[in-house]
Structure 1
Amino acid sequence: MARVAAASVAAGCVLAGTAAVTFAVVAGTGAGLTGYVSEAGIASSGYAPTYRIGVFALAAALLLLAAALPPALPVAAGLLGAGAVFTALSGAVTCSAGCPLPPFEAATVADLVHAGASIVAMASTVFAMLVIALSPHAAPRLRRVSRLAVAVALPVAGAIAVGLVTVGRGSLLGGLERLLLAVGAAWGLGTAAVLGRRTRSAVNVTNGSPREKQRV
């Protein structure tokens, strides 16, 4: 029952966090696709608190997903836990205006910490997807959701890594970043739905639900 609750709350956190961050980005930065999502959280933004609340909600979602995973997936749970910690760090440490990054712009220590935390958080989440997608211990539906997400997330993440050192800030990186975050949010929501349904079914079987007995 604890995993059922964790999966259900995780879904709510994904929805709430995504909505808050999206609202802050659309209403606050005015940079369109040329800016980073993190620019909605800079000190001068009037929507910085909304952005940070959204980021912290997404960090909570990752932690809850880690708790909702079956015990047979400890590596994936650990990666999601690390993703949650670094997501929270990226929300706590904001970047300066424009979120400058080397090698094209001079960055402050806060800029580097924020960017590093964001990169590690996303990488941990993508690797968790990959572990689940390849694990024989994961349920078929859980593997299917992760495989679909990984099929999009890995090439997009690779393109972002190349873009950071070859192109820098612009519409290409802005669009790719938003696509990767959308894939992560969709994966989190889908995974929470699968975990909640599967765990509830297991509880019903344990309790002797006639319907579940027939399915078994």
Structure 2
Amino acid sequence: MAEGTARRIAAAFAAVCLTAGVTAVTVAVVAGPGPGLTGYVSEAGVTDSGYAGAYRTGIFSVAASLLLLAGALPPGVRAAAGLLGAGAVATVLSGAVTCSEGCPLPPFEATTVADLVHGGASIAATAAVVLAMLVLLVSPAADRGVRRIAAIGAALALPVAAVVAAALLLVGRSTLLGVSERVLLAVVAVWGLATSGYLAVRSLTADGPSVRTPDGSNVSRR
């Protein structure tokens, strides 16, 4: 199988896994007994929640999509692929380690070791994906389409991430933190879906469609 075809297949499966994962997590969050917009998305995965299984299945599906997307990227963007791989590992850890009821986080709430591991893994996973956007944005090995999608994703994600960080440190559990967390996760998911979809349907060549010059040679068109 040609390398380009393998990357396209990986991108297509990344889109499928991401769609399935986001759907499962959304169902668990919306239908579960959580506190609504004042709570964390992770609260849908606590042991006592009737939708914990759906939540964890969704999280693991998202992790698989990150690994597949890392494999779908062109060889010249290894740093971005490595960040997505790290994000996948952190996502698996986030799904495997369940936080206690309410998923408390410092500095405003008393926490357990599991809460810290779960919260740290969740933050690390999101941060790794946002950093991958920035790496792709400035990488000459990524084609124009990938860079444009990364530029839009980073422009939306960075200010929201700043709000999330400030709310965690200065406000704690609140509607501001709950809403901003959901917005950030939505931006990350849309970026992943747009990038994997683009990589799945573009030309088999790494640099985009090629055109034939008068002398018979092929030149990539970006």
Q: TM-score, structure 2 length as denominator?
A: 0.90
| Pair 1:180 & 2:184 matched | yes
Equivalent residue in structure 1 for 2:62, among 55, 58, 62: 58
| Pair 1:143 & 2:147 matched | yes
Residue number in structure 1 paired with 2:29:
25
Moved >4 Å (runs of 4+):
201-206, 213-216
For the residue of structure 2 that corresponds to 1:22, the secondary structure is helix
Q: CA deviation at 1:30?
A: 3.7
Structure 1 letter corresponding to 2:92? A
Matches within 5 A, 1:1-216: 1-200=5-204
In 2, Cα distance between equivalents of 1:197 and 1:99: 39
Q: CA deviation at 1:29?
A: 2.9
1:131-173: per-residue Cα shift (whole Å, max 9, x none)?
Answer: 0011122111100001001001011111111110100011100
| Cα pair distance change 1:215/1:99, threshold 3 Å | closer
In 2, Cα distance between equivalents of 1:199 and 1:74: 20
For the residue of structure 2 that corresponds to 1:101, the secondary structure is coil
State whether residues 28 and 44 of structure 2, in contact with CA within 8 Å, keep that contact through their aligned partners in structure 1: yes
Seq. identity, %: 60
Q: CA deviation at 1:175?
A: 0.3
Structure 2: 5+ residue runs without aligned partners?
Answer: 211-217
Q: CA deviation at 1:2?
A: 1.2
In 1, Cα distance between equivalents of 2:206 and 2:175: 46
Aligned-residue Cα RMSD (Å) equals 2.1
Q: Which has the higher helix share?
A: 1
Structure 1: 5+ residue runs without aligned partners?
Answer: 207-212
- Equivalenced residue count is 211
